[in-house]
Amino acid sequence: MKKRYISLDVLRGITVAFMCVVNNPGSWTRIFSPLRHAHWDGCTPTDLVYPFFIFCSGCAMAFSFSKFEGFSRQAAGKILKRGAAIFLVGLLCNMYPFFPTTLHDTSASFGQNYLYWLQHQRIFGVLQRIALSYVLGGTIALWLRRPGRIICAIGALMAVYTGILLAFGSASGPFTLEGNISGKIDIALVGENHVYHGYCNSAGEVVPFDPEGLLGTLTGACTALLGYLIGGVIIRSSRRPQRVAYNAPVGVVARIFTYACISLALGKILSIWIPINKSLWSASYVLYAGGWAMLLLAFLAFWIDVRGVEKPFTPFRIMGMNPLVAFVMSAVLVGTWGPLGFEPSDYFGANEFTSLLWALIFTFIIFAISWVLYKRKIVVKV
């Protein structure tokens, strides 16, 4: 069991490290193509970071929920409490440093500028999507319990989500930036000022759309449930006699690898009709990204569980033991030195190589923080 936890920690650590690299270049105009998000449809290595986080949270759910016999008041309380805590941390990260660093109107008072700042704070975000997916996915997992039923639930959620997009999409297309209903739901729910404003249409006009909006929780939960199913495979194999081939470590790796190939194939086939799209978290994207997560986990489990090779993965294990701390510290560091006038692009933005150099330096800073916590045996949980 210990090594299986290590494999999951290493997968989380790799995800954390890559997140630091892609989110903190020396210059946003000088980035290697694989380190950029797809503009809309498509999937780059960078687009796999986010679903890997949710997949890992689903795997962890399988371990933490193993003590529950099924859905109960105690289990529901734990799910809701943890989901609310993660959502709140994400909201605080959005708001840090908790005051406007630039004044909207220099002629207005600080109070008026602060009120304007509050009225334009983004509600959704990465941790918020993880929290909502955890709550929905965890509830379904404990309620249905059996893998077959959970697989049916994944299919049903993807069908419902896709059906909503198709039924209420505009003439420009249900899977387009301008035509999808997901963004319109968020604007109606929290207001245009509280959603993401980082997308532009073909004319270069900013289109308010939140890639971590509410509707995508349906498919976000599917990614968490895929992780839960794989976590269940690992747990069940540890409880059964390993003299049975498919319960031995090599058998478990082979099963995860097989599921990865099936998921990748289904994702690519489904993409014929439904584009692979991270911003919409489309059904094909769930299967495609989930397949890559399973594939990497199978690779790590092979080396760690089967071959017994742990030491080379130790840095990633250290980063993976406190993923929430790494995420929050990334937000705090960027939110702190920005108002102080430090711009990495002034020193590390001359070209793609120097831009990547700063990203690696930043990643090492986060690793150093994680290493201090590791040496002190501190694991921060919510």
Helix, strand, or coil (residue 343): coil
CB 373 within 8 A of CB 379: yes
pLDDT tens-digit series, residues 77-134 = 999 999 999 999 999 999 998 888 888 888 888 888 899 999 999 999 999 999 999 9
pLDDT tens-digit series, residues 147-189 = 999 999 999 999 999 999 999 999 889 999 999 999 999 999 9
User: Strand 206-207 relative to strand 199-200: parallel, antiparallel, unpaired?
Assistant: antiparallel
Is pLDDT of 288 > 90?
Answer: yes
188 CA to centre of own chain: 25
Listed residue (307, 191, 202, 321) closest to 250, CA to CA: 307
**CA-CA-CA-CA torsion for 328, 332, 335, 337, nearest 10 degrees?**
-140
pLDDT, residue 1, reads 37
Query: Residue 235's CB: how many other CB atoms inside 10 A?
Result: 16
pLDDT, residue 156, reads 98
- Which of 68-97 are b and which e, b meaning 16 or more Cβ less than 10 Å from the residue's Cβ? beebeeebbebbeebbeebbebbbebbeee
pLDDT tens-digit series, residues 210-246 = 999 999 999 999 999 999 999 999 988 876 655 545 5
- In residues, how long is the chain? 382
pLDDT, residue 242, reads 53
Least confident of 48-62, 93-107, 210-224, 367-381: 93-107
Confidence of residue 364 (pLDDT cuts 50, 70, 90): very high
pTM over 0.85: yes
Instruction: Dump the DSSP string for 165-201.
Output: HHHH--TT-TTSTTT-HHHHHHHHHH-GGGS---EE-
Instruction: Please name every residue paired with 206 in a beta bridge, in sequence order, or none if there are none.
Output: 200
Instruction: Please name every residue paired with 199 in a beta bridge, in sequence order, or none if there are none.
Output: 207
Q: What residue segments make up the domains of the chain, in order of their start?
A: 6-36+321-382, 37-309
Is pLDDT of 3 > 70?
Answer: no
